[in-house]
């Protein structure tokens, strides 16, 4: 087993340990063994992690490792790792490094020649995706959308429309505004999924046209809890772009906007997030299949 054979001491190195995103039963047996045996646990918030450690009667010393001390603390931890320490990194919930601190110490540990051991477990984005009913074949994780309205709209406008599922973390006090932006940038009928309070008592999935989900949430006295938002952008006629050919999109644009084939192709390439020459080659392939 990487890091140790069962019941043998863990090898020196950096252990990235996932912790539950709500339900404490989601801790893994290996995570408990690693957290109980390492020399130190570097935590995003030591008080938060202490609750988890107390619950499982783990007495390993903790040290804080968060956004504001990531640089200097990483340096200190790397020095200990180089001397053979076994250090675990955890965030408040879920997988460290995913919209949470962790990436910097991993990069520095690799550069210092320290062994890295992932200890997988809960993650909100993947849990939401697999239960969303949306395509899991291709997905793009964006973390949090920008809080400022203008930047958020620009981020939404730049999403690829290739049929891939886009996954976002969103704060409950911003979700209504974000859904309104999706309605403007895409369509009121854009199918979306909201996964709220995953693995917790009030776990909830809302699936449907963005306008309906927005109205449903807006009618509540308060929107609480942790949220993952997912959708695969649709074209104006409601079909995901993946199901329409490039030739069809080019023809629609040439007619509706009275522009040349070259300009239409440029637009289609941009909207699909692919290069102009790739779009041109695909258009030629589609045309040759027709003849
Ligand atoms: N590292 C974590 C992970 O692996 O999922 C994510 C940390 S990020 C700072 C916190 C955000 O993740 C929340 O604001 C929410 O968008 C999402 N999240 C975390 N737990 C969740 C849950 N139980 N249900 C829904 N979303 C959750």
Q: What is the pLDDT of residues 65-116, one digit of tens each?
A: 998 888 889 999 999 999 999 999 999 999 999 999 999 999 999 999 999 9
Q: Atom 11, ligand 1: which residue's CA is nearest?
A: 169
The separation between the first and the last C-alpha atoms of the chain, rounded to the nearest angstrom, is 56
Average pLDDT of the segment spanning 114-132: 98
CA distance 200 to 95: 17
* 168 touches ligand 1 (CB under 6 Å): no
203 lines ligand 1 (CB under 6 A): no
CA of 70 relative to ligand 1 center, distance in Å: 20
Please report the pLDDT score of residue 248 as a whole number: 72
Question: Of 78, 29, 193, which is closest to residue 124 (Cα–Cα)?
Answer: 193
Encode pLDDT of 196-248 as tens digits: 999 999 999 999 999 999 999 999 999 999 999 999 998 544 444 444 578 87
Cβ contact 156:177 at 8 Å = no
Q: Is 44 in the pocket of ligand 1 (CB under 6 A)?
A: no
| 94 C-alpha to ligand 1 centroid (Å) | 7
Does ligand 1 have an atom closer than 6 angstroms to the CB of 19? no
pLDDT band at 253 (very low <50, low <70, confident <90, very high): low
For the beta sheet containing 86-90, the strands, ordered from the edge strand earlier in sequence to the opposite edge, are 62-64, 40-43, 86-90, 13-17, 116-119
Q: Going by C-beta distance under 8 Å and a sequence separation of 6 or more, which residues neighbour residue 282?
A: 246, 274
Mean per-residue pLDDT, 45-72: 95
- Arithmetic mean of pLDDT, 55-68: 95
CA distance 155 to 54: 41
Tell me, using a 6 A CB cutoff, whether residue 226 lines ligand 1.
Answer: yes
Q: What are phi and psi of 12, to 5 degrees?
A: -60, 150
Best residue among 16, 21, 101, 204 to mutate for probing ligand 1's pocket (most ligand atoms within 8 Å of CB) is: 21
Q: What's the CA-to-centroid distance between 285 and ligand 1, angstroms?
A: 42
Q: Is the C-beta atom of 93 inside 6 A of ligand 1? A: yes
Residue ranges of the chain that CATH labels 3.40.1010.10: 13-122
What pLDDT does residue 5 have? 67
Q: Using the mean position of ligand 1's atoms as its centre, give its distance from the Cα of residue 259 in Å.
A: 44
Is 89 close to ligand 1, i.e. is its CB under 6 Å away? no
Closest residue to atom 2 of ligand 1, CA basis: 94
Regarding the domain with residue range 13-122, which homologous superfamily does it belong to in the CATH classification? Tetrapyrrole methylase, N-terminal domain (3.40.1010.10)
Domain 125-241 adopts which CATH fold?
Answer: 3.30.950
Q: Is 190 in the pocket of ligand 1 (CB under 6 A)?
A: no
CB 98 within 8 A of CB 70: no
101 lines ligand 1 (CB under 6 A): no
> CATH 3.30.950.10 in the chain, residues?
125-241
Report percent pLDDT > 70 for the chain.
90
| Ligand 1 atom at shortest distance from the alpha carbon of 143 | 8
**Pairing state of beta strands 116-119 and 165-170?**
unpaired
Question: Binning pLDDT at 50, 70 and 90, where does residue 53 land?
Answer: very high
Residue 171 Cα to ligand 1 midpoint, Å, equals 10
**Residue 144 Cα, ligand 1 centroid: separation in angstroms?**
10
Query: Is pTM, for the whole model, over 0.75?
Result: yes
User: What is the Cα–Cα distance from 252 to 275, expressed in whole angstroms?
Assistant: 20
What pLDDT score does 56 carry? 98
């Amino acid at each position: 087993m990487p890091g140790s054979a069962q019941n043998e001491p863990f090898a020196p190195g950096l252990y990235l340990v996932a912790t539950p995103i709500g339900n404490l039963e989601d801790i893994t047996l290996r995570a408990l063994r690693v957290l109980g045996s390492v020399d130190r646990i570097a935590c995003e918030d030591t008080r938060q992690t202490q609750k988890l450690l107390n619950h499982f009667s783990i007495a390993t010393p903790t040290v804080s490792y968060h956004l504001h001390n990531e640089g200097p603390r990483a340096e200190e931890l790397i020095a200990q790792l180089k001397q053979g320490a076994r250090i675990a990194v955890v965030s408040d919930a879920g997988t460290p490094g995913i919209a949470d601190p962790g990436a910097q110490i991993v990069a520095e540990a690799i550069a210092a020649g320290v062994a890295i051991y992932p200890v997988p477990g809960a993650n909100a984005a993947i849990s939401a995706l697999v239960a969303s009913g949306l395509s899991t074949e291709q997905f793009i994780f964006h973390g949090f959308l920008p809080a400022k309205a203008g930047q958020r709209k620009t981020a939404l406008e730049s999403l690829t429309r290739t049929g891939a599922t886009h996954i976002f973390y969103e704060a409950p006090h911003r979700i209504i505004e974000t859904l309104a932006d999706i309605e403007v940038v895409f369509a009121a009928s854009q199918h979306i999924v909201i996964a709220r309070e995953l693995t917790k008592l009030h776990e909830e999935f809302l699936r449907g046209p963005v306008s309906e989900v927005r109205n449903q949430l807006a009618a509540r006295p308060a929107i609480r809890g942790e949220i993952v938002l997912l959708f695969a952008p649709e074209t104006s006629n409601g079909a995901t772009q993946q199901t329409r050919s490039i030739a069809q999109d080019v023809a629609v644009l040439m007619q509706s906007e009275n522009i040349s084939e070259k300009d239409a192709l440029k637009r289609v390439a941009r909207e699909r997030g692919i290069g102009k020459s790739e779009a041109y080659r695909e258009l030629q392939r589609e045309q040759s299949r027709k003849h």
